[in-house]
Structure 1
Amino acid sequence: MSQTDYQDLAHYHLKKGEEFMNEEQIKHFKNKLNIWRDQLVSDAESTINHIQEDSTQVADINDRATLEEEFALELRTRDRERKLIAKIDKTLHIIEIGDYGYCKTCGTEIALIRLEARPTADECIDCKTIAEKREV
């Protein structure tokens, strides 16, 4: 499942007068994160199988170079996803301790629309924007 497919999962629909990060919202985001994590782990396992199956001797040196480059690209992608899995695990921990949905910098609520787009977000858009400007 690609990031785009993941984002197409059911979005949480805010109900009028609903409390921020209530039990239903927490359940929704926890489920969303677990599905995403499971898919990333599955993709990593399929990459391992693919590399093991396709790494047989290739007679032509050009074919071998192409195959090795494909493997390198897949491994770089999986390394980024490994880091994302760690971030998802951290976010699931934040849910468990009751701090999910609040900016780690200023403590304000992170907009639900932002959490839908990036469920691992740990800063509100204002703090993230300031942090990114400092990085430049």
Structure 2
Amino acid sequence: MQSAVSALEYRPSEDEPFMNPRQREYFRKKLETWKEEILRESRETLENLQEESTNHPDMADRASSESDRALELRTRDRQRKLIAKIDAAMKRIEDGTYGYCEETGEPIGLARLDARPIATLSLEAQELHERREKVYRDE
């Protein structure tokens, strides 16, 4: 029981080798839990959409219902894209590239990965990417 408790309380630390097996397992579990949560929410959304009657005699009720339905469907599309990113992150864990910046090859950083486990760029590379994006948007 002691090892199960310590596994749950484990937090990656800068004091240990980057992306050691324990860190990879921590992030794999974090990603799996996040994916399960999204899938559960998606199932609940589908159930709610199926239960909701679309036959509203009042035009305002119908418009409100259609607006809610459109929002739910946009949310589901974002969730579908997020699941693809989670799956890609889990594949990177398997192939040993997880936690390293796609552009520089440098470690992304534990704090960033803990906050955004699907990150593929270091904070510096992400900021540079966003600055370039802004310049092109403003033109």
Q: Are 1:14 and 2:26 counterparts? A: no
Distance in 2 (alpha carbons) for counterparts of 1:125 and 1:14: 18
1:96 match: secondary structure: helix
- Output the amino acid matched with 1:26: R
- Which residue is equivalent to 2:56? 58
Give unmatched runs, 5+ long, in structure 1: 1-8
- Which residue is equivalent to 2:127? 129
Distance in 2 (alpha carbons) for counterparts of 1:86 and 1:133: 25
CA RMSD of aligned residues (A): 1.6
Distance in 2 (alpha carbons) for counterparts of 1:53 and 1:128: 42
2:94 equivalent among 93, 96, 99: 96
Deviation at 1:62, TM superposition (A): 1.1
Q: What does the per-residue CA deviation read over 1:38-82, in whole Å, with 9 as the maximum and x for residues that have no partner?
A: 111111111111001003412212111111101111111111111
Q: Are 1:69 and 2:54 counterparts? A: no
**Percent identity for Structure 1 against Structure 2:** 44
1:37–1:85 contact (8 Å) kept in structure 2:
yes
2:54–2:65 contact (8 Å) kept in structure 1:
no
Aligned length: 127
- Which residue is equivalent to 2:137? none
Deviation at 1:11, TM superposition (A): 7.2
Distance in 2 (alpha carbons) for counterparts of 1:110 and 1:11: 19
- Which residue is equivalent to 2:39? 41
- Which residue is equivalent to 1:5? none
What TM-score do you get using the length of structure 1 for normalisation?
Answer: 0.88
1:103–1:122 contact (8 Å) kept in structure 2:
yes
Q: What does the per-residue CA deviation read over 1:10-47, in whole Å, with 9 as the maximum and x for residues that have no partner?
A: 6724163x111011100100000000001111111111
- Which residue is equivalent to 1:79? 77
What TM-score do you get using the length of structure 2 for normalisation?
Answer: 0.86
2:99–2:108 contact (8 Å) kept in structure 1:
yes
